[in-house]
Chains A and B, each alone.
Chain A
């Protein structure tokens, strides 16, 4: 006879997981893709995948790890599909318009756009470090790379962003 293990998808547990983590998952998509519709689509796909794989989740910590990893990888996949559009956005972001200089006084908004132009691995590492406040080892596990590579990506990403910010300040 089979041994029954009562691991089931229940409305309460899954709904609670969605409410607890939807901002985190959506934010990874939004900061990566800079497209609200694409970010929502990505986030919905992540939770649908979670629903299918609920039986593999072992603990709340594992759930968080699983969501961060899945969201990051799906954002990378979605970003690759939008590569042509991203190249256009790169040109626009690189040369802010006069209107942007005048009205875009919020550095946050500019930084968000600049993060969105980073290569995908740097972008992922920066997001997980500064959106999710994860340490290098945790990021390495999510991105399936070694810790020194993560450090390199973060360092290069910060160097690029530092350059962008200082050039922007010179233009204003």
Chain B
């Protein structure tokens, strides 16, 4: 790294937001729902951490793979739900029409 790049890293170091940032954010959001059970993805994260591949180039691709597969499953779920509700509407129409 050149001296300029080193200087840039120092110049662009992260800074904390002004005091009260979290409180102001919470005020904008209002009350959050009470916790009932831990989010599913933290369990996935625990499993990934146990594998200890977080800092390798291979892990980046695995993470992308996992994200893609999960997104695919969500798309399929959404399509199933939508089709189900459209079908429900059609059945209701048929009931009303006396078919």
Q: Which residues of A approach B to under 8 Å, CB–CB? A: 2-3, 5-15, 18-19, 22-24, 26-27, 30-31, 36, 39-40, 43-44, 47-48, 51, 54, 56-62, 107-109, 111-112, 115, 126-127, 130-131, 133, 138, 158, 161-162, 165
Contact = CB atoms under 8 A, between A and B. Distances in A.
Contacts of A40: 17-18, 21, 24
Contact of B22 (A18, A36, A57, A158): A18
Interface in B10-64: 10-18, 21-22, 24-25, 28-29, 32-42, 44-45, 48, 54, 60, 63
Contacts, number: 135
B21 A126 contact: no
A64 to B, nearest CB: 10
B56 to A, nearest CB: 12
Contacts of A13: 35, 38-39, 42
B99 interface: no
Contacts of A43: 17, 21
A131 B9 CA distance: 6
25 contacts: A6-B39, A8-B33, A10-B38, A13-B42, A15-B32, A18-B22, A26-B17, A27-B14, A27-B15, A30-B15, A43-B21, A44-B24, A44-B25, A47-B25, A48-B25, A59-B41, A108-B7, A108-B10, A111-B11, A112-B11, A115-B8, A115-B11, A127-B12, A130-B11, A165-B4
Q: Which of A8, A13, A27, A61 has the most CB of B within 10 A?
A: A61
Nearest to B59: A61
Contact of B32 (A7, A9, A107, A158): A9
A122 B7 CA distance: 17
Nearest to B31: A11
B70 interface: yes
B66 interface: yes
A45 B79 CA distance: 30
